């Protein structure tokens, strides 16, 4: 991702992505707010336009961290570690957004802020894993050990996702009487809604790419200061 080992300022691609993302953000918001309300949920469904892209990008971000952690373990290139770290940080932001919007949406819909629904629970676990990732990074002074330990957590934490998901899903399925009817979460997508959702997904993706590149650039600057 980061081509130059010693950048002086963020490169053109980063600025383009950032500019495009920020410029399209209001468009996305407009589309979201002008899309028709849902048959069942009314205007509440509009949280979805933030929640779904947030969750998607969160998972993508952590997957990228997983990939670059693996790459670092094989290649020992500090650049890979910087990408992994940047992606994890941005991932936490998006994932946090998804969790909060999810909770805000859950209260009026299901009556509770939280439920042990498999995807929600797995998301919360993944969030905790990467909070741990940063706490660990903060605890290690030696730069090389820090990179290695973080990479290990990046790998161990992500391979946990499918196993955690399965375990929570089976765990929940045992409760025949569910106090929360998850079908009230279903929505029928009008074309304008799908359009708005996909557009916001695009905007979030652009912003993700831009933020990760930017954060990676900052990390390179930090590393250079440390080396001096």
Partner 1 sequence: MRRVLLLALRDLRLEVRDRTGLLSLLSFFAVMLFIMALALGPEEAPLRRAAPGVLWVALAFMSTLLSSRAFALEVEEATLDDLLLTPGSKEWIYFGKLLFQLLLLFPLSLLALLMAAGLFYLPLERGLPLLLTLLLGVLGYASVATFYAGLLARLRGREALLPLLLFSLVVPVVLASVRATAGLVEGLPVAEVADWWRLLLVFDVVYVTAGALLFPVVLEG
Partner 2 sequence: MLLRLAGVSKRFGRDWVLRDLDFALERGEVVALLGPNGSGKTTLLRLMAGLLKPTRGRVEREGKALLLPNPPAFHRRLTAREHLLYDLAFHGQGGDWAWALGRFALPSDLPLAAFSSGMRKRLALARLLLLFPDLWLLDEPETALDAEGRGLLLEVLKEARGKAGVVLATHDRGLAEKVADRALFLGEA
**Binding residues vs partner 2 (CB under 8 A):** 141-142, 144
- Smallest separation, CB 140 to partner 2 (Å): 12
Alpha carbon of residue 97 to chain centroid = 8
Q: Output DSSP code: residue 45.
A: G
The answer to whether residues 67 and 131 touch, using CB atoms and an 8 Å cutoff, is no
The answer to whether residues 2 and 9 touch, using CB atoms and an 8 Å cutoff, is no
- Smallest separation, CB 221 to partner 2 (Å): 17
Q: Is 71 in the site for partner 1 (CB under 8 A)?
A: no
- Smallest separation, CB 209 to partner 2 (Å): 33
Reduced to 3 states, what is the DSSP secondary structure of residue 189?
A: coil
- The DSSP-derived string for 157-206 is HHHHHHHHHHHHHHHHHT-SS-SS-GGGG-----HHHHHHHHHHHHHHHH
**Residue 164 near which of partner 2, partner 1, none (CB within 5-8 Å, type-dependent):** partner 1
- Smallest separation, CB 76 to partner 1 (Å): 10
**Residue 132 near which of partner 1, partner 2, none (CB within 5-8 Å, type-dependent):** partner 1
**Nearer Cβ to partner 1, position 131 or 182?**
131
Instruction: Identify residues 119-138 at the interface with partner 1 (CB under 8 A).
Output: 125-126, 128-129, 131-132, 135-136
Instruction: Name which of 100, 90, 154, 161 is nearest 126 in CA terms.
Output: 161
- Smallest separation, CB 122 to partner 1 (Å): 9
- Smallest separation, CB 81 to partner 2 (Å): 15
**Residue 163 near which of partner 1, partner 2, none (CB within 5-8 Å, type-dependent):** partner 1
x/- map, 133-172, partner 1, by CB under 8 A: --xx--xx-x-xx--xx-xxx-xxx-xx--xx-xxx-xx-
- What residues pair up with 38 in beta bridges, in sequence order? 42
Compute the distance between CA of residue 141 and CA of residue 161 in angstroms, rounded to an integer. Answer: 29
Q: Is 227 in the site for partner 1 (CB under 8 A)?
A: no
**Residue 125 near which of partner 1, partner 2, none (CB within 5-8 Å, type-dependent):** partner 1
**Nearer Cβ to partner 1, position 8 or 142?**
142
Compute the distance between CA of residue 59 and CA of residue 36 in angstroms, rounded to an integer. Answer: 28
Instruction: Name which of 203, 200, 205, 222 is nearest 85 in CA terms.
Output: 222
**Residue 27 near which of partner 1, partner 2, none (CB within 5-8 Å, type-dependent):** none
Compute the distance between CA of residue 118 and CA of residue 124 in angstroms, rounded to an integer. Answer: 10
């Amino acid at each position: 991702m980061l081509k130059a080992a010693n950048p002086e300022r963020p490169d053109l691609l980063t600025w383009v992505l950032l500019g495009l993302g920020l410029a399209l953000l209001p468009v996305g918001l407009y589309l979201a707010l002008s899309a028709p309300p849902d048959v069942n949920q009314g205007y509440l469904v509009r949280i979805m336009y933030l929640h779904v892209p947030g969750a998607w990008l969160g998972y993508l971000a952590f997957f990228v961290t997983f990939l670059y952690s693996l790459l670092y373990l094989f290649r020992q290139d500090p650049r890979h570690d910087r990408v992994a770290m940047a992606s994890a940080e941005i991932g936490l932001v998006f994932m946090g957004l998804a969790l909060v919007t999810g909770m805000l949406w859950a209260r009026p819909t299901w009556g509770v802020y939280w439920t042990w629904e498999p995807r929600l629970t797995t998301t919360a676990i993944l969030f905790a894993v990467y909070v741990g990732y940063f706490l660990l990074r903060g605890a290690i002074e030696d730069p090389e050990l820090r990179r290695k330990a973080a990479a290990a957590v990046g790998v161990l934490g992500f391979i946990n996702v499918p196993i955690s998901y399965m375990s929570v899903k089976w765990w929940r399925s045992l409760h025949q009487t569910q106090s929360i009817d998850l079908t009230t979460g279903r929505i029928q997508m009008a074309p304008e809604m799908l359009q708005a959702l996909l557009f916001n997904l695009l905007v979030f993706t652009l912003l993700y790419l831009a933020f990760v590149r930017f954060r990676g650039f900052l990390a390179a600057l930090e590393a250079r200061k440390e080396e001096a």
